[in-house]
A and B are shown apart, each in its own frame.
Chain A
Amino acid sequence: MSQLIKMLAISIMVFVPISSHSHDGEKHSLIGESKADKLDQCVEPTEVMQKEHFEFLYHQRENTVEKGIRTKNHSLANCIDCHVSYDEKGKAIPVNAEGQFCQTCHVKTAVNIDCFSCHATVPRDNSSKIKSTGYNQNIHIESTANNLVEYYKETNYEK
């Protein structure tokens, strides 16, 4: 009997921490609204996503970079596209900003995320969208390109 209780105690100790995570049963209360708010479930069941999303991302990144597989389901770009919140003006708030989807849990669980030193934190398509968002940025692109060209003209031109 005592052995049974011991087993039970051990099993509780072993299994309880695994089944708990940063927000058990809590709903996200994030600033702004995202596409994900309107959906019942992510690409996998919520439980699975909460514990194993990074596994999917690791797997996908190898497939994408090395093999050129570009499926949407487990791609980081798709995560961001769906989970990014928009403020009242319709402007996207970076997913790693305070109080946003990625950051909320990662702060609570003290796990640093490294994705966003390289990956865009808001859906940002090239050219067409950049052009439509701002005139200034366009000038910046041009000036950068011109500078590069000037520089290489100077360095490579045989006088």
Chain B
Amino acid sequence: MKVPADLYYTKTHEWAKVEGNKARIGITDHAQEALGEIVFVELPQVGDELSAGDSLGAVESVKAASDVYTPVSGKVVAVNEALLSSPGDINADPYGKGWMVEIEMSNPSEVEKLLDAKAYEELLKEEA
């Protein structure tokens, strides 16, 4: 299970890559593995305003639908539209080609409340 050291994580298995006041967001390797093959992705619109913890969209495998929650508040500035036609990118490359949205953070201090890689690994151990 890959847990890159340079990302932040949530208890609901999203990751955030923070650069300046922007955060790129997706679901973790653990989340994609647990879901199985992803066959459908729903994304927000560019310009949507979201608060931390809001649903930003959904990923669905053959078996199940799962909401994806934004770890940080702000405005959606980019969505990965390639996922609409190739949702399997999330399985193949959850931290790379499988990114879902980019958010311009309205409150960058929220990042401090997220889990770091070590804390997320602990969480996975507890859940196992």
Bind each other? no
